[in-house]
Each structure stands twice: as structure tokens, then as C-alpha cells.
Amino acid sequence: MTAELYYFSGTGKSLVVARDIANTIGAKLISIPTVMNRESVETDADILGIVSPTYYMRLPRIVESFIGKLINLDSKYVFGIVTVGGIAGGVLDQLSDAINRRGGILGAGFVVRMPANYIHDADALPVFLQKRMFRKWEQRVNEITDFVLDGKTGRMDKSSRLMTLVFSHGIDGKYSRGEFSPRIDENFWTDDRCNGCGICAMVCPVSNIVTVDAWPVWQHHCEKCLSCIQWCPKEAIQFRKVTLKRRRYHHPKVGLADMLKRSIGED
Ligand SMILES: Cc1cc2nc3c(=O)[nH]c(=O)nc-3n(C[C@H](O)[C@H](O)[C@H](O)COP(=O)(O)O)c2cc1C
């Protein structure tokens, strides 16, 4: 039995989840941006996994486009994992519909809670809470991999209805006000700590940053993954004024080298 695991990750949590699963089931790990220059994506693997963060209770645009490229899914076991900071909402339904449109079936969908990275909305969690979530994830890896390796179906994790109801109004409001538009990057800027190292351009998984005279310039096809802001070694990138005093965060088990491997067109 062969397996391939496609992932998208801004700050490393979906990467860690994908890597832990791939290592346990012996799957090939593939960064979604690296295959986006293909017209279609076909795999010979029997098992296909997709791991993604959740943005505004939806899939990142790039993950939806990637699924639109998949072909010949009908005979495969497909599973999905979304990482969340709090509320998944309908993201697994969206994933399932997208797979259906490609002729496949989402056999199982899992929601994995991780420390939230949305520095534009809230500060990073205290480290002891982050560690607790990482431990919980480590305890869950085998549950998911056993389910997948047994080829079981019918499991679709759900967010609490009450929590979804409470938060969806605000989240949908932000979505419809354009907080997730590709031009949201007009709100990024650098303060005087920027030393022109160019790491922001290198870690952007969708090549949305170019450096002009050493200054980052955002190109308006932003996924809002926050990789640039969270990986800047000088903490010099800001989003509006709200990030000036907030702590930066990325997964401790992910280094810069891991981030650089996952960019667009490096297939
Ligand atoms: C723009 C944006 C929107 C987000 N929206 C949600 C959301 O609606 N619900 C949620 O639970 N987490 C949300 N998050 C948190 C991420 O889904 C979560 O932190 C995820 O684990 C990040 O994965 P990564 O480290 O692989 O990028 C959002 C994060 C960002 C950057």
C-alpha cells in the first residue's frame, strides 16, 4: 500500500501534523505549493491525505485550487486533516465537497487543535498551553494513523455547534469585509528593525514577496498564512498596528530549512 500526503502550512503546525502522519504510515510528504505549477495532479498512491490550516472556517484558497487539479481519485482512500486554533466550522464539509467534485470521496476528516497563529486577531498563547496542545497531538497520531491504515470511513470531526454559532457571525463578517482577500497584504509593513535579510520573501510559500532595494514588497496574491510576520527574525513585519506588541509564534519543531522546502515551484 502506498500513500502520499499533501500539505499546506504557514507557521508550521500543519507541517508537523503532516510529517508525523507521513512518518507513521510511510507516506511521501509533498508541499502543495510545489505542485501548483502543474495543470493537473495525479497520484499512483492508494492513500491520499491532505493536511491544511483553517482560515476563516474555510480552506486556504491554494488548497482549494490544488484539489481542483486532482484527477483519478475514484479508486483511492482519501482523508483530510485540518488544523485549527479554535473553530473549524464547515471546513471539512468544504473539503469533502471539493473532493466529490473531483470524483472522489473524503473517507475521513479530522480536526486537530493547535496553538492559534492569527497574530492579527490575538496574541500567542502562553507556552504552557502550547505545550499541552502539542502533547495532545502526540497522543492522537496513532488514533488517526490506525484509522487510515485500516481504511476505515465515516469519521468526520465536528466543531461544537454552539461555539460555531457564537463565532461564525464575527468570522463571516471579517471574511465578507475582505480580511481574506489576496490584497490583504496591503496592510503589512516593516518597521525600522528590518535589515533587508530577505527571509520573509524566502519563507512565503506562494512567492508573494519580492525584495526591492532590500525592502519586502508584497505582490497582492497573499494567502494570509502569516509566515512572513511569524518568521521574521527581527520581528520587524507588522500587520496594521495591532501586531506591534504581540508575540511572534511558529511551531518549535519546525526550522527555517523546513519552511524553505515548501515554496511554490520547487517540485
Ligand atoms: C488568516 C487566518 C485565519 C484563521 N482562521 C481560523 C478559523 O476560522 N478557525 C480556527 O480555528 N483557526 C483559524 N486560524 C488558525 C489556523 O488555522 C491555525 O493556527 C493553524 O494551525 C495554522 O496552521 P499552520 O501553522 O500550518 O499555518 C486562522 C489563521 C489565520 C492565519
User: Per residue in 123-172, pLDDT tens?
Assistant: 999 999 999 999 999 999 999 999 999 999 999 998 888 889 888 999 99
Burial class (CB in 10 A: 0-12, 13-18, 19+), 246: middle
Residues 6 or more apart whose CB falls under 8 angstroms from that of 121 comprise none
Position 31 scores a pLDDT of 96
Tally: H helices and E strands in the chain = 8, 12
Using the atom order of ligand 1, give the atom closest to the CA of residue 224.
1
Instruction: Take atom 23 of ligand 1 and give the residue whose Cα is closest.
Output: 53
Handedness of CA 250, 256, 258, 261 (dihedral sign): positive
Q: Ligand 1 pocket by C-beta < 6 Å: which residues? A: 9-15, 53-57, 83-88, 114, 116-118, 171, 224-226
> 62 near 20, Cβ under 8 Å?
no
Q: Which fold has domain 3-165?
A: Rossmann fold (3.40.50)
Position 12 scores a pLDDT of 94
pTM: 0.97
pLDDT band at 64 (very low <50, low <70, confident <90, very high): very high
44 CA distance to ligand 1 centroid (A)?
31
> 248 near 124, Cβ under 8 Å?
yes
1 CA distance to ligand 1 centroid (A)?
32
Separation CA 195–CA 232 (nearest Å): 10
Q: Assign domain 182-260 one CATH number from 3.30.950.10, 3.40.50.10320, 3.20.20.70, 3.30.70.20.
A: 3.30.70.20
Q: In the chain, list all ranges with CATH 3.30.70.20.
A: 182-260
Q: In the chain, list all ranges with CATH 3.40.50.360.
A: 3-165
Mean pLDDT estimate for the chain: 94
85 CA distance to ligand 1 centroid (A)?
6
54 CA distance to ligand 1 centroid (A)?
5
Q: Is the predicted pLDDT of residue 20 greater than 90, yes or no?
A: yes
The proportion of the chain whose per-residue pLDDT surpasses 90, expressed as a percent, equals 88
What SS3 state is found at 188? strand
